[in-house]
Structure 1
Amino acid sequence: LGSRALLCWMISHNMTWISYPSKNFAFISPEEIEAFIASQNIISRLMHCYMAFFVPMGLIAGLCILIIFIKNYLQVKIMENFDLLLLLFTISNIIMIFFSFTVIPRPDYVKTTHFACKILSFFFNLSYFSSQHLFLLMLLIVLLERFPPMPVLSQATQNPILGVGCVLIYAFCLSVCESVLLGTDNYHLKTDCQLDPLFAWPEYEIVKFTFGFGIPSFLQIICFTVLFAKEAPAEAPALQLHIRTYLPVVPISITMLMCRLFYSVMILLRTMLKLQEKIGTPQNELVMNIAEIVLFCESCTSLVFVLCLHKPCKDAVLKVLRNCKMENSMFELNRRK
């Protein structure tokens, strides 16, 4: 019985048979050729739209946020706990955007060895998990600013370095776990690489869904439910004023839930195909590629929300715009003279 169970486990974790539908023309019938070409065109156009619009927007917003936070810190020599977490959240999302450059070859994939693909996947997962849990830490600060803090939770918010350290250690451990679930074979062989590799064991996607989306999203919903439904103490600030103070967390949370839900469901569907030992259809591959690009769009839009809605960032941007307008007015006045 034990040897039979071991044999079944080895068969379920043998991923040598798996490949992308677009790489297996033998499985595409003549009737599906036209749909296959159309799906390839859609992937290519989405990639170009993402690289042309979302990437510059996200990187410019992220760079502006970094400059504003660093400049403010150099002036006052102090940084609010929420701003520190927002700064680290920004860095995580900028790293995510740089990893998104792996979609440039689409509808093809990055050609590399299994080992290099696993290294790439590890660092991508590290930024993916850390950004998700840094945002949870920000929500905790928002929640405890309105309600009397419990001793255990207040320790994490009053000492954000401790909270950030715990988040990074947790994200590192999850990333190591995911790297193990990529398997230990074929290090030297070439492969078509995605940031969530196709050759990963089925447990890889299950762990990523559970700890990268399921549990964090559940905690996000609990935080917002308590924030909006629970009656605050009399000395607490009004809810509208409190939300206005931490305005970026609302659109970021909605965007994160929607985009990561889509992506997480797609990688779970990919797991179902693996368990059935099927490579899927070109349409499955198309939707998975769309989900990956949507995930990267979430990082870009989150940075734009921070720049436009967080008061220190918004004030700095408005100040620069006013100065530019005044300089243009002075230039125009001098030109007329």
Structure 2
Amino acid sequence: MASHNMTWIGYPSKNLAFNSPEEFEAFIASQNVISRLMHCYIAFFVPTGLIAGICILIIFIKNYVQHKVIENLDLLLLDFTISNIIMILLSFTVITRPDYLKATHLACNVLSFFFNFSYFNSQYVFLLTLLMLLLQRFPPRTALSKATQRPILCVGFVLIYAFCLSLTEAVLVGTDNYHLATDCQLDPLFAWPEYEIIKFTFGFAIPSFLQILCFTVLFVKEARAEAPAFQQHIRTYPAVYIISITILISRLFYNLMLLFRTTFKLRKSIGTPKNELVMNIAEIVLFCESCASLVFTLCFHKPCKDEILKVIQNCRRKNTANNHLEIPVTATTDENGSQ
């Protein structure tokens, strides 16, 4: 249990003794980098992601009100959208960078719980989306096919699974010093090493392996004769495949940095300011992925894209109609008063 005593740990930027001007300059440079990245994220990615997320919610709700039914894929993407919006809202904790949010251990653990819940839920509900498309192309005659035809039950199962994983992670943050103030990240630095290991295993390794397996089956296995060609299948669901690649790349970087941080904990080392900088960059990249996923959903998912095009066309018609309005001509009179 020695590894569970994390009272010694701290951020390298908070425990520096500069032995030379070069070390001080390197520290200032790393602080400037993270500060600029944070401002770029808050200024550009956050508004874009939130606007895209709100538009997706409005479109899905509008379609449901009109047709009284929601497509299976739309239901999964709705859950995915809500999870990403929550992650973007929680990402406001990076506003204080290069410093960290000040909070008690308990408050930090609560923030971490909601962050992990959204993180796990978005990961697995998107995996469920891929699985549904796979079974659509290669329909099995098994209970699995019947299960995917009831997406509400599938989403409920994913939510329960994500809740259990998040609760486990909350326990692994540690149960001591809840009343004390600390520097808070959404993945707390003072969490036990098992925290990062569980998150990497169940939040990235397993779902990514299944995701790659789905891609492999799609590429390698030959579909039924009546099924559309693979290229046509990709063109029908471009948003899903674009987002899959985005998630895989950004979360790979983030989770590798989490594991790298765990190695420091096991060695009883706090690392260097450069290690801290890379971890902060990985965190912001993860939040950027949430924003980008919502933008890709809005731009490439057919119901959303059609609604956006419809709005643009209506705006063009109104502008055209306004430009063709007849301008009234006033009559002029000559000096004799005749018109």
Scaled to the shorter chain, the TM-score interval is over 0.9
The CA deviation at 1:242 is: 1.7
Would the aligned equivalents of 2:139 and 2:145 in 1 still touch at CA under 8 Å?
A: no
Q: Which residue of 2 aligns with 1:243?
A: 234
The CA deviation at 1:129 is: 0.0
CA distance 1:262–1:150, shift in 2 (3 Å): farther
The CA deviation at 1:336 is: 5.4
Alpha-carbon distance in 1 for matches of 2:39, 2:19: 26
Q: Which residue of 2 aligns with 1:213?
A: 204
Alpha-carbon distance in 2 for matches of 1:285, 1:29: 20
Would the aligned equivalents of 1:21 and 1:27 in 2 still touch at CA under 8 Å?
A: no
- Percent identity reads 73
Q: Which residue of 1 aligns with 2:77?
A: 86
CA distance 1:286–1:335, shift in 2 (3 Å): farther
Residues 184-227 of structure 1: per-residue CA shift (max 9 Å, x gap): 00000000000000000000000000100000000000001101
Residues 286-331 of structure 1: per-residue CA shift (max 9 Å, x gap): 0000000000000000011111101110010001011111111222
Residues 8-44 of structure 1: per-residue CA shift (max 9 Å, x gap): x2x2111001000111123665431000000000000
CA distance 1:99–1:30, shift in 2 (3 Å): same
Q: Is 1:12 aligned to residue 3 of structure 2?
A: yes
Q: Is 1:297 aligned to residue 275 of structure 2?
A: no
Would the aligned equivalents of 1:115 and 1:188 in 2 still touch at CA under 8 Å?
A: yes
Q: Which residue of 1 aligns with 2:57?
A: 66
Alpha-carbon distance in 1 for matches of 2:18, 2:279: 19
Task: Please tell me the residue identity of whatever aligns with 1:87.
Answer: L
Task: Please tell me the residue identity of whatever aligns with 2:148.
Answer: T
Unaligned runs of 5+ in 1: 1-8
Alpha-carbon distance in 2 for matches of 1:21, 1:267: 16
Q: Is 1:36 aligned to residue 27 of structure 2?
A: yes
Q: Which residue of 1 aligns with 2:92?
A: 101
The CA deviation at 1:152 is: 2.9
TM-score, normalization by structure 2: 0.94
Unaligned runs of 5+ in 2: 329-339
Alpha-carbon distance in 2 for matches of 1:153, 1:29: 63
Residues 88-143 of structure 1: per-residue CA shift (max 9 Å, x gap): 11111111100110100000111000000001000100000000000011001100
Alpha-carbon distance in 1 for matches of 2:20, 2:8: 20
Alpha-carbon distance in 2 for matches of 1:183, 1:135: 30
Q: Which residue of 1 aligns with 2:331?
A: none
1:130 paired residue among 99, 121, 124: 121
Alpha-carbon distance in 1 for matches of 2:84, 2:140: 29
Q: Which residue of 1 aligns with 2:157?
A: 166
Alpha-carbon distance in 2 for matches of 1:88, 1:287: 30
Q: Which residue of 1 aligns with 2:257?
A: 266
Q: How many residues align?
A: 328
Task: Please tell me the residue identity of whatever aligns with 1:157.
Answer: T
1:321 paired residue among 312, 327, 332: 312
Aligned residues: CA RMSD: 1.2
Alpha-carbon distance in 2 for matches of 1:112, 1:287: 23
SS at match of 1:326: helix
TM-score, normalization by structure 1: 0.95
Would the aligned equivalents of 2:102 and 2:181 in 1 still touch at CA under 8 Å?
A: yes
Runs ≥4 in structure 1, deviation > 2 angstroms?
A: 25-31, 332-337
Which of the two has higher C-alpha Rg?
2
Alpha-carbon distance in 1 for matches of 2:314, 2:48: 22
Matches within 5 A, 1:167-246: 167-246=158-237
